[in-house]
Amino acid sequence: MTDPLFEVIDATWPAASVRQAGGFLIREGRGGGARVSAASLIGDLANADIDAAIAAQRDLGQEPKFMLRPGQEALDAALAERGFEAFDPVVILMADLAALPRDVPPVTAFAHWPPLAIAREIWAENGIGPARQAILDRASTPKAAVLGRSRDRAAGAAFVAIHDRIAMLHALVVAPEFRRQGLARAILAEACRWAAAEGATRLSLVVTRANTAALALYRDLGLTPVCAYHYRRETRT
């Protein structure tokens, strides 16, 4: 199950460009965060060249960083020995769409594409700036923005895209003054409704282990952890 899930991540939240160096896939992120700029091992570690991967990332003007997937403990140890620090442990959750809620209260959330200007404003105000918004613009799979409304105003947004009949939810944000009022649930339900109508059978998402509130919400909705990974980067001083 692991490889298909990472294919879904790469397809629905794509890097600006990809290339190979030293047995690693090198992603060009253009400021879009670790998920689109970390290198990942694509072959046998015994035949890989970590130095080549580091050099390729520096050539792109990026901080060298690596994504460590399940079964890559040897690479993890090799990077730790080089002084690369671990950061952002992540959990991938998944559920069958049939088991997830799809009932959305009227005028609470709706899927659309391209994103309305107000959706882009909400993302920008909540940490999803132009570099990350460029990621969802370049996704070439079926996709939608979901705008959430509360108390007669736009208050949240998310992005959902489909690859191989798996929908992946990204960039879910709710304005601080509207949190803990059920809007995130409504946005997720609308994403599920849209994804099912587009032929998807499962929904997945990625969340950091540190985001305990989101993890609790997703578990309560029926999403189950199916995989985990983390990153390593050169230790910052």
Segment 67-111, tens digit of pLDDT:
999 999 999 999 999 999 999 999 999 999 999 999 999 999 999
Provide CATH code, domain 94-227.
3.40.630.30
Confidence band for 4, pLDDT divided at 50, 70 and 90: confident
Contact status, residue 194 vs residue 30, Cβ threshold 8 Å: no
pLDDT, one tens digit per residue, over 155-189 is: 999 999 999 999 999 999 999 999 989 999 999 99
The pLDDT of residue 235 is 82
Percent pLDDT > 90 in the chain is 95
pLDDT for residue 237: 64
Domain(s) of CATH 3.40.630.30: residues in the chain: 94-227
